[in-house]
Amino acid sequence: MPVCQIVHLNGSFLPLAEARISPLDRGFLFAHAAYEVTAVYGGRFIDMPGHLTRLSRTLAGIALPDPLSPSGWEALHKELIVRNDLNEGIVYLEVTGGAYDVRDFAGPETFVPTVFAYADSRKLIGAEARDGIKVVFLDDTRWKRRDMKTVQLLSQGLAYRTAKARGADTAFMVEDGFVTEAASSNAWIVTPSGEIITRHLSPAILPGITRAGVMALRGKGGFAVTERAFTPDEAVNAAEVFTTSSGAMVAPVTHIEGRPVGDGKPGPVTRQIQRLYYEAMGADLAAVAPWAMERA
Ligand code: PMP
């Protein structure tokens, strides 16, 4: 499905076909841009404050001024979904270093950002969440500041292409013998003894807002999470594997490198975390995810 037709560009709402950005924009020339993808469910944003905090951290990290206040960003997001009548999907926001009359690596002393946003209608709780996804391992060739959410996404784009060519949905990126994260989500495993593990926060991975959302459910769900790096071997031998992201929420991984994880079906811990997460989003489980209600 194409994205919604009314987009936001530099303070205006206009049809996508009329949105124009200069080819000298630093987002285009240098990938000098921050972005965020915020989930919308039932017409409400999920964890907007978390996304805005991460956005301002990324902007500070890439020398860009934050052009709006948190309430300004929130209003922009809201107006976009109202104008497009979006009930479920995502809002994509990008803030670039702006366009100048020369291609200069360093750029001006103070940047005047380009702000672009669009809404995209899609099911957040869909077939992938129900049936699971397949992953392969690939070398993590990204830059070293993956904690900042920038549009330097070439490694991930190529990883997705390779994964697809190998019959998988995405890739687990591997660096120095450990899984960092998936190409566009955080990676989690459940060991055969039931320990839930996800990599600790550091510049090696993106601090996922969905990851933080799952962490926040520990008390209610009565589960603990060990935050440490795990190896590809641990993932292959895990009882369960899943990913978290704003676009796919909690997605079970059923196959790694063509081999089933556990019995090749989404496991009970993953299902429990899906249930808790969907409930926290305000989803009607019986209606949209009856499969998540089946207990082991
Ligand atoms: N890691 C990477 C590399 C990502 O691209 C994403 C999704 N943008 C995530 C993790 C998950 O982050 P979030 O839960 O904030 O969507």
Which residues are annotated as catalytic?
Answer: 149
Give the pLDDT score at 244: 98
Backbone angles phi, psi at 196, to 5 degrees: -95, 125
Give the pLDDT score at 32: 98
Q: What is the mean pLDDT of each run of 10 residues along the chain (296 residues)?
A: 94 98 98 98 97 98 98 98 97 98 97 98 96 98 98 98 98 98 98 98 98 98 97 98 97 98 97 97 95 78
- Domains in the chain with CATH codes: 6-121 (3.30.470.10), 127-293 (3.20.10.10)
Give the pLDDT score at 295: 66
**First vs last C-alpha separation in the chain:** 35
Cα separation of 292 and 296, whole Å?
10
Q: What is the DSSP letter of 248?
A: T
Give the pLDDT score at 293: 87
Give, to the nearest 10 degrees, the angle between helix 70-83 and helix 48-61: 120
Atom of ligand 1 nearest to the CA of 156: 3
* Protein residue whose Cα sits closest to atom 10 of ligand 1: 185
Atom of ligand 1 nearest to the CA of 247: 16
pTM score above 0.95:
yes
Q: In one letter, which amino acid is 216?
A: A
Token pair in block for residue 191: 């060991």
Give the pLDDT score at 1: 79
Cα separation of 209 and 227, whole Å?
15
